[in-house]
Structure 1
Amino acid sequence: MPEILKVKPTRMELLKLKRRVKLAERGHKLLKEKQDALIMEFFTIYDEALNLRKELIQKMGEAFEALRKAQIDVGSLRLKEIAIGVSPNREIKVRTRNVMGVRVPLIEIPEMRRKSGDRGYSFIATTSTVDAAAEKFEEVLELAVRLAEVEEALKRLGREIEKTKRRVNALEYIIIPRMRNTIKFIEQHLDEMERENFFRLKRVKALIEARSQR
């Protein structure tokens, strides 16, 4: 026997269940639409993450090549001294934004220093190759932060998709079928009661008619 809800087989419960089924079907439709929209958004951001990762790998290659040239130009020891003198970047700010009802991070990174003086080392004491290397690594940092933001958004969207999928499946395969089975059971029960009442009334009528003819 199909699984049903434990309710009294009455007309009142039948009406309540029919209303609940309509609400559940509407909720299922909305959740399915949300799930489809989340999946579309997920793959849009996934493509962005792939492109950012490719760009980051390319920029890292360029940065290390620029670093190699700077090392040849000024020497390893001098390069280390310059690196020690570099001012640290300001702290990033993390806010959130809403993507299909999911709060995802929005990382605000301060504008990178594009001049040697702003970086904490003297322009006179260094060369253009050092500036080029510093600029390349600033680009790498910006891309790395952006990639971290996008990948965290993917994680959160993925969790929301999984949660929504479980709710959709629960409604589609458990809750709605169970309510429909219960409605069918109550309708059959009420029909059977009506037939029994009909035959009972028919017998009573026949008995009354038989007595009246005596």
Structure 2
Amino acid sequence: MTGKRIKAAPTKNTLLNLKRQLNFLEEGHSLLERKRELLTRLVYQRIGEYRKIRDQAHEATKLAYHWLSMLQLRMGSRAVNQAALGVEPVLDLKILPRRNLGVEYPSVSGELLPLNPVGLLGTDPSFDETRLHFAEASLQLVKMGEVSMSLNRLIAEQRKAQKRVNALRYNIIPQYRNTIRFIENALEEEERNALFQVKVLRDQERI
């Protein structure tokens, strides 16, 4: 069964051009295949990172709310809310663009700032400890968000690369090969016919 071909005139120039284009496509296929493999490896790496940081964020959040529950029992919710007004931040976040294998996503870096004790009258000592635990939990949650976003974008790029690899491997490159084979056969047939005609003419001249 003859495969699909590209519409092209069966000439030597066409054959040379198609061979050059095929060589370019095969090189592109190899590069895309390499990129797809690297993206796949990076996706699995990010999945491992996400699972690890998800567990860390879960534990940090659970601990922070545990401290908040104890603080509310000691001070009362209203007093906690009043004490929280105007407190200085204890977490510094920086968001910068990051690029990996052509995929761009935000990179978040954060650090805990020195904790300035509130020291208000009627404030339980655990108030500052609770602030610190929530800052640590927030940092873990932000990191989890970064890994999650990068993972989603890497997966999307990996799928695009896979589609392009498949299109080249199963559709475009086979069409070029079929067309080249067809033109080569056509040119060989044309050459045989020309040689046959020359032979006939020579035979006629001898008669």
Q: Same fold (TM over 0.5)?
A: yes
Give the superposition deviation at 1:91: 7.8
Match of 1:165 in 2: 162
State the 4+ residue runs in structure 1 displaced beyond 6 angstroms.
Answer: none
Match of 1:201 in 2: 198
Give the superposition deviation at 1:94: 2.3
Give the superposition deviation at 1:128: 2.0
Aligned length: 206
Is it true that 1:58 corresponds to 2:59 in the alignment?
yes
Q: After superposition, where does 1:23-172 map in structure 2 within 5 Å?
A: 23-87=24-88, 92-109=93-110, 111-112=112-113, 114-117=115-118, 122-172=119-169
Return 5+ residue gaps in structure 1 as ranges. none
Alpha carbons of structure 1 residues 88 and 131: separation in structure 2 relative to 1, 3 Å? closer
Is it true that 1:191 corresponds to 2:188 in the alignment?
yes
Alpha carbons of structure 1 residues 36 and 86: separation in structure 2 relative to 1, 3 Å? same
Q: Is the 8 A contact 1:5 1:178 kept in 2?
A: yes
Match of 1:11 in 2: 12
Q: Is the 8 A contact 1:94 1:108 kept in 2?
A: yes
**TM-score using structure 2 length:** 0.91
Q: Is the 8 A contact 2:99 2:105 kept in 1?
A: yes
- What is the CA–CA distance in structure 2 between the aligned matches of 1:92 and 1:86, rounded to whole Å? 17
Return 5+ residue gaps in structure 2 as ranges. none
- What is the CA–CA distance in structure 2 between the aligned matches of 1:126 and 1:107, rounded to whole Å? 33
Q: Is the 8 A contact 1:70 1:130 kept in 2?
A: yes
Task: Give the fraction of aligned pairs with identical amino acids, expressed as a percent.
Answer: 32
- What is the CA–CA distance in structure 2 between the aligned matches of 1:205 and 1:198, rounded to whole Å? 11
Q: Report the RMSD for the aligned CA atoms in angstroms.
A: 1.9
Q: Is the 8 A contact 1:59 1:136 kept in 2?
A: yes
